[in-house]
């Protein structure tokens, strides 16, 4: 269910980015890591578990629901920002 909804939000982001000059690339590059957070939170946690950070070993797992929630929040903010820029504001010239 979460994967289907995230794909729908990404499709809405593509629609919102359509008026922008580089909007399609922006959505593709912006949504890929966010979709990874939503779709594979346990695998992303496994990548960092046991690593060393600033002299300390990471010895606790991050809850998968927290990683997925972070992905959802960022994805929704990203899609909303594209709609604001694409439909309400003047598209930036990059």
The single-letter DSSP state of residue 63 is P
Give me the number of domains the chain comprises: 1
Give the rounded distance of the alpha carbon of 39 from its chain centre. Answer: 10
Place of tokens 């010895």: 59
Query: Domain range spanning residue 14?
Result: 2-88
Torsion of CA 26, 70, 77, 23, to 10 degrees: 10
- Has residue 19 been placed in a domain? yes
Per-residue pLDDT tens digits for 14-63: 887 877 777 788 888 989 999 999 999 999 988 888 778 888 887 888 89
- Has residue 93 been placed in a domain? no
Least confident of 2-6, 19-23, 34-38, 75-79: 19-23
* Cα within 13 Å of Cα(75), Cβ side: 27
- Token readout for 16 is 């919102």
**Contact (CB, 8 A) for 2 and 68:** yes
């Amino acid at each position: 269910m979460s994967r289907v909804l995230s794909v729908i939000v990404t499709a809405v982001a593509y629609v919102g980015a359509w008026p922008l000059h580089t909007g399609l690339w922006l959505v593709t590059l912006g949504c890929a890591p966010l979709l990874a957070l939503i779709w594979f939170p346990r695998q992303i946690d496994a990548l960092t578990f046991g690593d060393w950070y600033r002299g300390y070993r990471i010895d606790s797992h991050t809850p998968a629901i927290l990683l997925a929630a972070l992905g959802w929040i960022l994805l929704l903010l990203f899609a909303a920002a594209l709609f604001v820029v694409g439909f309400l504001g003047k598209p930036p010239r990059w």
